[in-house]
Amino acid sequence: MGTIKAVFNAVGNVLGTFFSSDSDVMSEEAKRILSNEEDRKIFFEAIDKMKNSDSHKETLILSNKEKITLFS
């Protein structure tokens, strides 16, 4: 039963991408980070560092230990 449910969820997700809007101005990863309080704080600290430094590049280590490198 779990297999059948997983298959239909996968099909539903794919069909969802066919009809999804391309109007988002924020990436999915950004939305995910901003929805987590801890990651949000890390993200804004990184933006401040990027603005105030010459490198304009920062690596974020998120609450789930995932690393994302941003540059501007």
Partner 1 sequence: MDSPGTISGIVFIVVLIFPGVIFKRFYYKGSFKKQFGAGPFADRILTSIFWGFVVQLLSFVGFSIAFNFHYNDINVKIRGLYKQIVDNQIPLLTFHDLAYILTYIFVCLTVAAFFGFIAHEFIRLFKLDVKSGIFKFSNEWHYYFTGEILLTKEFRHLKKGKVFATAVDVLIDNGSDRNKMMSGILSQYTLSSHTGELESIYLTASRKYSDIDKGFKSVPGSLIIIPYNKVVDMNLTYLFEEKPLVNKITVYRNSVMLISLFVTLAIIILPWFSTVSFGNKTLSVLFFSLGWLFAYVSLLQPYQDEKQKLSWRAILLLIALSLLFFFLAFYKLRLIFK
Q: Which residues bind partner 1 (CB under 8 A)?
A: 3-4, 6-7, 10-11, 13-15, 21-27, 29-30, 34, 40, 44, 47, 50, 57, 68-72
Cα–Cα distance, 72 to 58 (Å, whole number): 9
For residue 14, the minimal CB distance to partner 1 (Å) is 5
Min dist. Cβ of residue 59 to partner 1 (A)? 8
Q: What is the sign, positive or negative, of the torsion defined by CA atoms of 62, 68, 71, 72?
A: negative
Phi, psi of 43 (to 5 degrees): -60, -45
Task: Give least dist CB 61 to partner 1, A.
Answer: 14
